[in-house]
Amino acid sequence: MFKGVLIEKDESGYHAALKDLDDSVLMDGDTRLSVAYSTLNYKDALAISGKAPVVRKFPMIPGIDLAGTVISCSSGKFKAGDEVLLNGFGVGEAHCGGLAQQAQLNSEWLIALPKGLTAKQAMAIGTAGYTAMLCVMALQKHGVKPGNGEILVTGANGGVGSYAIAILAKLGYSVVAATGRMAEAGYLTALGASDIIDRHTLSEPGKPLAKERWAGVVDSVGSHTLVNACASTKYGGIVAACGLAQGMDLPGTVAPFILRGVTLAGIDSVMRPLQDRIEAWEKLATLLDAGTLENIATEIGLSQVCDTAQQLLEGKVRGRIVVNVNQL
């Protein structure tokens, strides 16, 4: 027996609760893990609340991230005692995920825990930090350098936004943070933001083209915010889009793309090829220090997951939530 958050759907409705579980709830996989830490992401919160059709099979253990120790691995890729981590691949949606003390997964989804990171630190980074790193890598591969101008980060108080600011600042970029919580300006400045703007300047319908300002953008918001970010990106700049906190619509025009040569780069973290994952995590292990991780992440126990998920959906959570699955 082990403990975990379980989502069930039956005639009486949709339910998520902390329960005592056994192996019967786990799904097929060649690798058995003892989970040490997981996280609570926006997608996890949607899954737990049932406010979006994230979960595709029931019953389901949510948790799109996890870090833990291999108990057994029949594929031979890992051996007992190896420390590994996972992001995405439909885990927590179609395959039982990380918000439990045990997991049964496919070894091809796992990568070795990067040197220099503990399991807790890896989950403090989690999918949010990993996605932020993929966005920054897209900007770099496009040729955006610190001297090219300001980088806009939207959804700045969230996990992706927080890590994007920290990573970009560490690399020498000038970062402008867009947030709806101006009271958190001190937090964003401490992460490395050089300027802070109110998200409402971007979240309403705007012009097809606005004054050029951004050399690059990391956007986790979508909808009007993404459209306005594109409209104010400099000639030849790039916008890395990775989220839909405001909405998944794109109510804009082609003007920035055909008149200013702006590139809109979609950033998927769920099915990303293995080599991209390893590259991103190796960079994260060297760029982010323990102090930054402690500033961004808050630790909770399994029994707090469901309540915290609601707070996350209400926009009341700053940074990252790390879940110690062996603490109730």
Give the model confidence (pLDDT) of 164-209 as tens digits: 999 999 999 999 999 988 988 999 999 999 999 999 999 999 999 9
pLDDT, position 11? 87
- The number of folded domains in the chain is 2
Q: pLDDT at position 45, please?
A: 95
Bridge partners of 142, per DSSP, are none
Residue 260, domain member (yes or no):
yes
**Is 288 among the domain residues?**
no
CA distance linking residue 125 with residue 215, whole number of Å: 25
User: What distance in Å separates the CA atoms of residue 327 and residue 235, rounded to the nearest whole number?
Assistant: 51
pLDDT of 12 over the 90 cut: no
| Whole-structure pTM value | 0.93
**Residues 300 and 202 occupy one common structural domain:** no
Q: What does the pLDDT look like over 269-288, one tens digit per residue?
A: 999 999 999 999 999 999 99
Which residues have a Cβ under 8 Å from the Cβ of 183 and sit 6 or more positions away? none
The verdict on 143 and 253 lying in the same domain is yes
Residue 316: which pLDDT band, with cuts at 50, 70 and 90? confident
Q: What is the CATH number of the domain that holds 208?
A: 3.40.50.720
Residue 278 in any domain: the answer is no
Pick the closest to residue 2 from 96, 83, 74 (CA basis).
Answer: 96
Q: Are residues 188 and 167 in the same domain?
A: yes
Residue 289 lies in a domain: no
Q: Is the pLDDT of residue 315 over 90?
A: no
Query: Which tens digits make up the pLDDT trace of 47-74?
Result: 999 988 899 999 999 999 999 999 999 9
Report the pLDDT averaged over residues 128-139: 97
309 and 230 both lie in a single domain: no
Q: Quick one: 104 and 131 in the same domain?
A: no
Say if residue 196 is in the same domain as residue 89. no
Q: Tell me the CATH number at 6.
A: 3.90.180.10
- What strands, in cross-sheet order, belong to the sheet with 175-179? 195-198, 175-179, 150-153, 214-219, 233-241, 263-266
With respect to residue 64, please indicate whether it lies within any of the assigned structural domains: yes
Give the pLDDT confidence of 66-119 residue by residue, as tens digits: 999 999 999 999 999 999 999 999 999 999 999 999 999 999 999 999 999 999
Q: How far apart are CA 101 and CA 124, in angstroms?
A: 17
Tell whether 49 is covered by a domain: yes
Per-residue CA distances from 94 to 79, 91, 171 (Å): 26, 6, 37
Q: Is residue 90 part of a domain?
A: yes
Q: Are residues 169 and 92 in the same domain?
A: no
Q: Are residues 260 and 313 both part of a single domain?
A: no
Same domain for 215 and 134?
yes
The domain containing residue 315 runs over which residues?
2-113+296-324
Across residues 212-241, what is the average pLDDT?
A: 98
The residue from 228, 250, 266 where one domain ends is 266
Q: Are residues 16 and 104 in the same domain?
A: yes
Q: Are residues 97 and 175 in the same domain?
A: no
pLDDT at 161: 95
Lowest mean pLDDT among 12-16, 111-115, 138-142, 240-244: 12-16
Report yes or no on 27 lying in a domain: yes
State whether 174 and 77 are in the same domain.
no
